[in-house]
Amino acid sequence: MKIENFVTCVTGSFFGIEFETLLAQEWLMSKHVLVVDDDEVVRNLVIERLAQHDGIRVDSARDGVEALHKLASRQYSIILLDIVMPKMTGVDFLRSLRAMIDDPSLKSPPRQPAVLVMTSTAPSELPNEALHHYGGLVRGVFRKPMDFSELLARVEELMAGQPG
């Protein structure tokens, strides 16, 4: 079977980010996680824990801007997202992600990932829009310092509901 049967070439521009990428079939991307946090220690701890699980591939970004660049070249099934970050907050990232998903001008917009929020802010103090808007993107909130067993259990639960 030829490689053309497995990939689609997508080009475009979104928020000034030019991209050209090869998107593999859904099953090749179903266990790819993006960790977005400006705290390098937290980012590395989460990556280390996730990397121990067979079949989960992990990328990271320091802020929402870098995360949008990553989304221009790869699909993610889950995004672990800090809310308070420099350059682009988690709420602004969610707004941009929702706009990308809903943009009819994109030939192949990102599929809708599940977003798990990681924050030192109490969930009751988060902006209402972070939890209740953006078409169900946010699927859980974890307060830092996190209980990694709970976070990993939620990631596994979300992964189990996806193909692959």
Check residue 29 and give its pLDDT. Answer: 45
Confidence band (pLDDT; 50, 70, 90) for 12? Answer: low
Write the DSSP string, 94-123: HHHHHHHHH-TTSSSPPP--EEEEEESS-G
Q: Which CATH number is 137's domain given?
A: 3.40.50.2300
pLDDT at 6 over 70: no
Over residues 56-67, the pLDDT tens digits come to 899 999 999 999
Domain range enclosing 108: 27-160
Q: Is residue 10 part of a domain?
A: no
For 127-155, write each residue's pLDDT tens digit: 665 566 666 788 888 888 888 889 989 99
Closest CA to 28 of 69, 66, 72, 77: 77
> Quick check: is 8 in a domain?
no
- The answer to whether residue 149 is domain-embedded is yes
The stretch 94-116 carries a mean pLDDT of 84
Number of domains in the chain: 1
Q: Write down the pLDDT at residue 8.
A: 44
In this prediction, residue 4 has a pLDDT band, given cuts at 50, 70 and 90, of very low
Q: Which residues, listed in sequence order, are joined to residue 81 by a DSSP beta bridge?
A: 36, 117
pLDDT at 156 over 50: yes
Note the pLDDT of residue 42.
Answer: 92
Assess if residue 7 is contained within a domain. no
Average pLDDT for residues 48-61, to the nearest whole number? 88
Predicted confidence (pLDDT) at residue 55 exceeds the cutoff of 60? yes
For residue 18, tell me if it sits in a domain.
Answer: no
Q: How confident is the model at residue 46 (pLDDT cuts 50, 70, 90)?
A: very high
pLDDT (mean) for 15-38 = 63
What is the average per-residue pLDDT within 74-92? 91
Asked if the structure places residue 12 within a domain, the reply is no
Question: Token digits for 28?
Answer: 């090749």
Q: pTM of the prediction?
A: 0.77
Helix (H, G, I), strand (E, B) or coil at 35: strand
Helical H segments across 22-161, by residue range: 26-29, 40-51, 64-71, 90-102, 128-132, 148-160
Least confident range from 8-17, 112-121, 141-150: namely 8-17
The answer to whether residue 5 is domain-embedded is no
Tell me if 21 is assigned to some domain. Answer: no
> Can you tell me which residue has the tokens 């859980």?
140
